[in-house]
Amino acid sequence: MGNDGTGKVILVAGASSGIRACSGPLRSQGVRGHPPDRDPQRTAAADLTRYGTDHRVDVHAVELNVTSQDSADAAVDRILAERGRLDAVVHNAGHMVLGAAEAFTAEQFADLYDVNVLGTQRVNRAALPKLREQGSGLLVWIGSSSTRGGCPPFLAPYFAAKAATDALAVSYAAEVLPFGIDTAIVVPGAFTTGTNHFANVGAPADADCAEAYDQRHRPLTGDLSKRLAARSSLRTPM
């Protein structure tokens, strides 16, 4: 697609892991995507740039650390400077942890919330002034089926953060609607392929506590990603 200003400009937060799960439809529709990466040197950003070149798709990596308001502001400012507009924001950034809830420290919970929950707030504060000013836009929140019932064990910190984000999204939907900004909350199941969630999964800091649980639950946790993949493959497409 050419740079003639007629295409939609979409900021997709979450290029370092979750981008593969949601960027395909944007690419196939020829949408101008700006998926940020926490580290612009990471392979995900390089792969994204290569894809855009090979398939003549207007998609570019933008540096964005969702744990920094300055970084979020700079990313949005860069998009507006280069493209002159912003039409949608996809909240896809997040980090997963795996282990017994008790074995995670309060500080680990706080760090996870900082990425998965507060990160969306920082990006919103950077992007929404422009969307409100133009009287149009779309917020897309990539949630989790856990927020609609069913929270398997050993993912409690991640699911708790997703529940908080889901509540935030619902409240935002009513507040931004009068400004002409729509909201979509996507509730996917487990993505065991196409992302780096399980490859980069975080572990509890209290190793002794984690081992005590592992001795009782090892059959459940040893091949969790494989069993989730098997369950996903049995689902009937909607």
The catalytic residues are 158
The rounded distance, in Å, linking the Cα atoms of 218 and 229 is 18
Q: Are 136 and 20 in contact (CB under 8 A)?
A: no
Of the candidates 60, 12, 64, the one whose C-alpha atom is nearest the C-alpha of residue 37 is 64
Residue at token pair 């964005």: 64
Residue with token string 């979020």: 72
Closest CA to 66 of 99, 89, 97: 89
Give the bridge partners for 186, in sequence order.
Answer: 142
Least Cα distance to 170 among 180, 159, 162, 160 occurs for 162
Q: In what order do the strands lie in the sheet with 88-91?
A: 32-34, 9-13, 88-91, 137-142, 181-186
Instruction: Note whether 185 and 163 are within 8 A (CB).
Output: no
Helices (H), ranges, 56-118: 69-83, 106-113
